[in-house]
Structure 1
Amino acid sequence: MPPLLLHSRRLQKELADLQRNPPHGIQVIDADDLSKWIVEIHGAEDSIYAGESWRLQLKFPHDYPMEAPEVIFLAPTIPEHPHIYSNGHICLSILYDGWTPALTTSSVCLSLLSMLSSCTAKERPPDDDRYVRRVGMNANPKKSNWLFHDDKV
């Protein structure tokens, strides 16, 4: 089976699953373009983000699921979190080095919701200003060299 056909079938299945049985707090907003989705995440009731919601953009490369999607939070409502930069970039290993084709869009969204739910303080990463100045607002986060050293948040 050609890779593009496999890519499309996998994405169609994941999209249908996410639309039919979305995890609590997650909703597909726009997926007219199969290679770029907008998903809304709602803060968990018992977290510091209760009542808040944000939009994620997921862009899928041609070799998905062998390569991770590009995932960013969209302005203007980017959550304040120690692993989320003000340009929407997310420091989470499964989006980069820790990606495996066994992961799905649903599991990525759940991981982000879990990351947000376990946070105890709304704050930006300590190097936010420097990072955003260096890479800009529209850069691909997959081109950054991430260091994963904090598994508490």
Structure 2
Amino acid sequence: MTSTAAPSRKTLSKIACKRLQKELLEWQVNPPAGFKHKVTDNLQRWIIDVNGAPGTLYSNETYQLQVDFPEHYPMESPQQRPSDNDRYVKNCRNGRSPKETRWWFHDDKV
């Protein structure tokens, strides 16, 4: 038998499970504009598709977020970090903060 949760994750507490079930139901009844929850059998990990805002560089693009909820949610916040986040932070220019990263754009209309 295989599990869809990460092996190092602990199972959700009763409070976290009830809270996430309630939030998921609310999401399904009244989803936020531009967001779509992909249905899986793992309540602890949500996969969310986000549509780029219309009229921006990101319009007509879809981005995928993975949100992992901890054992004691909502007392602990969910994590949303890309899998390569540690490598990115490590390779930031001159070891500075990622906030100081200079981005290159290929569209001179931005």
Q: Of the candidates 30, 33, 36, which is equivalent to residue 21 of structure 1?
A: 30
CA-CA distance at 1:147 after TM superposition: 8.1
AA in 2 matched with 1:64: Y
Determine which structure has more spread, i.e. the larger CA radius of gyration: 2
AA in 2 matched with 1:13: K
Q: 1:62 to 1:148 in 2, by over 3 A?
A: farther
Q: Of the candidates 52, 56, 59, which is equivalent to residue 50 of structure 1?
A: 59
CA-CA distance at 1:29 after TM superposition: 0.9
1:10-31 deviations in Å (ceiling 9; x for gaps)? 0001111112211110000133
Q: Which residue of 1 aligns with 2:39?
A: 30
Distance between the aligned counterparts of 2:40 and 2:23, measured in 1? 11
Q: Which contiguous aligned blocks of 4+ residues in structure 1 show a shift greater than 4 angstroms?
A: 146-149
Distance between the aligned counterparts of 2:49 and 2:13, measured in 1? 27
Identity %: 34
Q: TM-score, normalised by structure 1?
A: 0.47
CA-CA distance at 1:71 after TM superposition: 1.2
Q: 1:73 to 1:50 in 2, by over 3 A?
A: farther
Aligned residues: 84
Q: Which residue of 2 aligns with 1:39?
A: 48
Distance between the aligned counterparts of 1:44 and 1:147, measured in 2? 24
Q: Which residue of 1 aligns with 2:78?
A: 69
* Structure 1 vs Structure 2 CA RMSD: 2.9
Determine helix, strand or coil for the equivalent of 1:71. coil
1:115-150 deviations in Å (ceiling 9; x for gaps)? xxxxxxxxxxxx76705xxxxxxxxxxxxxx8879x
**Unpaired segments ≥5 residues, structure 2:** 1-11, 101-110
